């Protein structure tokens, strides 16, 4: 019998079956996205311009984890896309937010999604949250040769851990380093500014409305400081994409809710900067 | 050199078929049938973790009877094929027909070239957007495939089981009705009651999201079966 029960590259497994889809892809097609191409050069700047994802963040709140991302992709000084999606559901209870080279990142996400579903179907149960986080770390590590050529991918991974019944959050670095965060984190070019806002606003056990508002505010602040991060655009109806991960699963936070959060922030900002005191001074009386 | 006596091919195939049939007839049965919202799979299975019915892909489910290790091997190969296809092309390009062909080829090769044939019968079901687009492929141990409509019974006493199903099956049955009908066919065939904990049930429900597969747990099956006396023979609305 050929093919059936065979492992990557047609080699039979010594014992048991490998539930990894990434290994299967790497074994069945050497040029497949799961297997990074050999490094051709070191230390060179990327010659072409690549589409880059920018600010994404995640924070824990009362029911789980909120994950949000801006919608802008840039190629050099050009805005490549104003409606790109950077927060993807990985499975029913977790999501990945990506920053870095957009093409590379979305491919890693696609592979990761298939990996989780494949594992679930082969083994008959879902991977643990820890297992998922580790698997993503290995994939980021696999992308390291590409990162050396400028195609850096740095994700955030978060979700609701069904076994522990709590939200969990992981951050990564280029080499596949993986750290669990206790409260919030952000990544991408505008992440420093977003993190400042998160740091000021984050409290344990935030309610959903407050958490969504904090996420939108952090992204808004990042967009004010970082050119590669897109702010909300009410004129064209472009708002950050926000996802909530709770015991019920991954939920796309409706645009109305995000818009409302943004309007609250705008109202507060407007009052503080334009209204009140400063206008009174200009008054001729 | 070892001495190999001449065995006519007819005899060889007959022996193998007999061997496979015997193996399969020792196992418990599986029923698959179309109902209003998709496909229902029901199996007699005392284990709650070693499944006979599983998800292969978004719209495709798998059921196997016979030797567990062998149909499990086929199931995993099916998941691999489906995920690889879906990843390389697109999710809607993965079809039950592709899988049925692959299974047929594999089982046929095993039947003719291996020491012993697989003692399995498998079912690949795909739920369609509309009832008439449902597909049920029944694949036998020698690789022969049948494209079935409405219902399939396979395993231990499949002829009797199919007979019971033929008498009671009605198109467009509700989920509850279909579960009761399938459970009755299984227990009538075995001439003994089979209660919910001994049944494994799953549906491919077209009203669900991307992944149509859903297992019905014991309590859900028990609830459906216990209400059978109330609306037993009621036709579907």
pLDDT of residue A16: 78
Which domains, and CATH codes, for chain A? Answer: 52-268 (3.60.20.10)
Considering CB atoms only, which of A17, A114, A124 is closest to B87? A114
User: d(Cα B75, Cα A127) in Å, to the nearest integer?
Assistant: 19
pLDDT range class, residue A77, cuts 50, 70, 90: confident
Reported ipTM: 0.90
Element (H, E) at A167: strand A166-172
pLDDT range class, residue A9, cuts 50, 70, 90: very low
pLDDT of residue A270: 77
pLDDT of residue A38: 52
Mean pLDDT value of segment A53-80: 92
Note the pLDDT tens digit of each residue in A172-222: 999 999 999 999 999 999 999 999 999 999 999 999 999 999 999 999 999
Name every residue whose Cβ is closer than 8 Å to that of residue A224 and which is 6 or more positions away in sequence: A193, A231
Note the pLDDT tens digit of each residue in A251-278: 999 999 999 999 999 888 777 776 555 4
- Residue A125 buriedness (CB in 10 A; 0-12 / 13-18 / 19+): exposed
pLDDT of residue B35: 96
Test B84 with A28 for CB contact under 8 angstroms: yes
pLDDT of residue A17: 81
A98 to chain B, closest Cα gap in Å: 20
Interface residue of B80, B86, B209 to substitute, partner A, most A CBs within 10 Å: B80
Distance of CA B70 to the CA centre of its chain: 14
Distance of CA A64 to the CA centre of its chain: 16
Note the pLDDT tens digit of each residue in B17-62: 999 999 999 889 999 999 999 999 999 999 989 999 999 999 999 9
Test A118 with B79 for CB contact under 8 angstroms: yes
Q: Minimal CA–CA distance to A213: which of A68, A56, A54, A99? A: A68
For chain B, list residues with pLDDT below 50.
230-237
Q: Is A65 helix (H, G, I), strand (E, B) or coil?
A: strand
Residue of B nearest to A110 (CA): B87
A4 has a chain B CB within 8 A of its CB:
yes
Given a cut of 80, whether residue A105 has pLDDT beyond it is: yes
pLDDT of residue A284: 52
Q: Judge if pTM exceeds 0.90.
A: no
pLDDT above 90 coverage of chain A, percent: 65
Interface residue of B59, B76, B212 to substitute, partner A, most A CBs within 10 Å: B76
- Residue B47 buriedness (CB in 10 A; 0-12 / 13-18 / 19+): exposed
């Amino acid at each position: 019998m050929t093919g059936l029960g065979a492992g990557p590259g047609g080699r039979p497994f010594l014992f048991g079956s490998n539930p990894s889809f990434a290994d299967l892809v790497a074994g069945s097609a050497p040029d497949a996205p799961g297997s990074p191409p050999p490094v051709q050069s070191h230390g060179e700047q990327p010659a072409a311009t690549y589409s880059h994802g920018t600010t994404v963040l995640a924070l824990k709140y009362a029911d789980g984890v909120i994950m949000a991302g801006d919608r802008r992709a840039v190629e050099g000084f050009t805005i490549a896309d104003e409606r790109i999606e950077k927060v993807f559901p990985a499975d029913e209870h977790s999501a990945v937010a990506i920053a870095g080279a957009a093409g590379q990142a979305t491919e890693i996400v696609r592979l990761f999604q298939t990996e989780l579903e494949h594992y679930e179907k082969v083994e008959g149960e879902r991977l643990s949250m820890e297992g998922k986080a580790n698997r993503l770390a290995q994939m980021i590590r696999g992308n390291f040769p590409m990162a050396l050529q400028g195609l850096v991918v740095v994700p955030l991974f978060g979700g609701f851990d069904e076994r522990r019944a709590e939200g969990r959050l992981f951050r990564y670095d280029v080499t596949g380093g993986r750290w669990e965060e206790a409260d919030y984190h952000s990544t991408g070019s505008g992440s420093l500014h977003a993190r400042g806002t998160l740091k000021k606003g984050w409290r344990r056990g935030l309610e959903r409305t407050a958490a969504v508002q904090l996420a939108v505010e952090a992204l808004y602040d990042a967009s004010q400081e970082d050119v590669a991060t897109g702010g909300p655009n009410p004129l064209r109806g472009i708002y950050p994409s926000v996802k909530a991960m709770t015991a019920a699963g991954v939920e796309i936070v409706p645009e109305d809710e995000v818009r409302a959060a943004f309007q609250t922030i705008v109202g507060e900002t407007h009052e503080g900067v334009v209204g009140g005191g400063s206008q009174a001074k200009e008054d001729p009386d | 050199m070892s001495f190999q006596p001449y065995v006519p091919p007819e005899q060889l195939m007959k022996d193998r078929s007999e061997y496979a049939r015997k193996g399969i007839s020792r196992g418990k049965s599986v029923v698959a049938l179309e109902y209003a919202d998709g496909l229902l799979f029901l199996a007699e299975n005392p284990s709650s973790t070693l499944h006979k019915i599983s998800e292969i892909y978004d719209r495709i489910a798998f059921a196997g009877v016979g030797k567990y290790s062998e149909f499990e091997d086929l199931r995993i190969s099916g998941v691999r094929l489906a995920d690889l296809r879906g990843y390389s092309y697109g999710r809607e390009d993965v079809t039950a027909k592709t899988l049925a062909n692959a299974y047929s080829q594999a089982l046929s090769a095993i039947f003719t070239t291996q020491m012993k044939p697989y003692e399995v019968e498998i079912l690949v079901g795909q739920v369609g957007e509309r009832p008439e687009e449902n597909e049920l492929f029944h694949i036998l141990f020698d690789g022969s495939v049948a494209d079935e409509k409405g219902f399939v019974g396979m395993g231990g006493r499949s002829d009797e089981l199919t007979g019971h199903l033929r008498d009671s099956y009605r198109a467009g049955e509700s989920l509850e009705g279909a579960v009761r009908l399938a459970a009755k066919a299984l227990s009538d065939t075995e001439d003994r009651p089979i209660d919910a904990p001994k049944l494994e049930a799953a549906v491919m429900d077209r009203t669900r999201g991307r992944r149509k597969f859903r297992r019905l747990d014991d309590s859900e099956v028990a609830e459906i079966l216990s209400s059978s006396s109330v609306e037993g023979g009621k036709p579907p609305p």
